[in-house]
Amino acid sequence: MKVLVVGRSGQLGRALAAGVPAGVALTVLGREEADLSRPETLAAAVARHAPALVVNAGAYTAVDRAEAEPRAAWAVNAAGTGALARAAARVGAPFIHVSTDYVYDGSGAAPWTEADAPGPLGAYGASKLAGEYLAAAANAAHVVLRTSWVFSPEGPGFVQAMLRLGAERESLSVVADQVGRPTSARQLAAAIWQIGPRLVSGNGVPGTYNFSGGGAFVSRLDFAAEIFARAGRKAPALAPARTEDFPSPARRPLNSRLDLTALADAWGIEPADWRDELSAALSAA
């Protein structure tokens, strides 16, 4: 099975390449060959490689900068995603796209289900939600995975930031009012490798699904404490903070709890505990 992945340099693109299963002929393209902000490059790349499956692992992820340059975020996350989904449809290839918990407004404390109305708080979330809609409209054989708090051995991300800051400081303030479940890029890639072949064979349920690590919901503060514990490092003094204590151009969702029931029912996927995935990522770093 020929698979084309767009987004070579990101955490997910690297994880997809590292975990490619037997029987898959994988091509992973970077921006120089398939630029999500330039739709013509996407159509040409897909036509040239003629894959059986297309995966979009690329995105504009500068959440704060998106507030100042929403057109740039929209070009990649919305228009680019739609263009890639259309290009896949032209060659008869299903399309898998990775989205974000930022499509929800972060209110309440109940885990979000796919049936809940989205309500992005900023330009980044709005552009990702638009990309979901455009992908679905362009390619009926699609799966969108809404994920949260992605980490990997190489980063960059929250794990690397905590370890760096912990080595530099005796105390750290970490937000305690943002709650969710971390997701390893490895387990997200593994889920895509489970879903993809079934989509190609027609033995799957297209649509939008939540995906995160399994196990307990935690705050960012709890996540930080687990990072230091699993890394075997002495933790700095960790103090709880509120999101509003760290003003930023973009608002962050406080409730990023994702309900994974639909994923299990449709695909039989029950993600491993994020804490075990964290240990694996720290061992591989």
User: Over the stretch 190-224, which tens digit does the pLDDT of each residue have?
Assistant: 999 999 999 999 999 999 999 999 999 999 999 99
Q: Tokens standing for 203?
A: 């033995």
Question: What global pTM score does this model have?
Answer: 0.96
Residue with tokens 């700095």: 236
The structural domains of the chain, ordered by start, are 2-154+182-214+257-272 (3.40.50.720)
Binning pLDDT at 50, 70 and 90, where does residue 285 land?
Answer: confident
- Pick from 184, 136, 147: nearest CA to 260: 147
Summary mean pLDDT of the chain: 97
Which H or E run contains 93? Answer: none
User: Over the stretch 112-145, which tens digit does the pLDDT of each residue have?
Assistant: 999 999 999 999 999 999 999 999 999 999 999 9
- The alpha helices in 91-201, defined as continuous H runs, are 123-138, 158-168, 185-201
> Is residue 28 a contact partner of residue 9, using CB atoms and an 8 Å limit?
no
Catalytic residues: 124
- Pick from 74, 284, 39: nearest CA to 184: 284
Which H or E run contains 267? Answer: helix 261-267
> 36: buried, middle or exposed (CB in 10 Å: 19+, 13-18, 0-12)?
buried
CA–CA distance, 194 with 258 (Å, rounded to integer) = 20
DSSP letters, 107-133, are: -SSSPB-TTSPP--SSHHHHHHHHHHH
User: Over the stretch 139-158, which tens digit does the pLDDT of each residue have?
Assistant: 999 999 999 999 999 888 99
Q: Tokens standing for 285?
A: 């770093």
Q: Tokens standing for 9?
A: 């340099």
Binning pLDDT at 50, 70 and 90, where does residue 260 land?
Answer: very high
For range 239-258, the mean pLDDT: 97
283 contacts: CB under 8 Å, gap ≥ 6: none
Residue with tokens 């020929």: 2
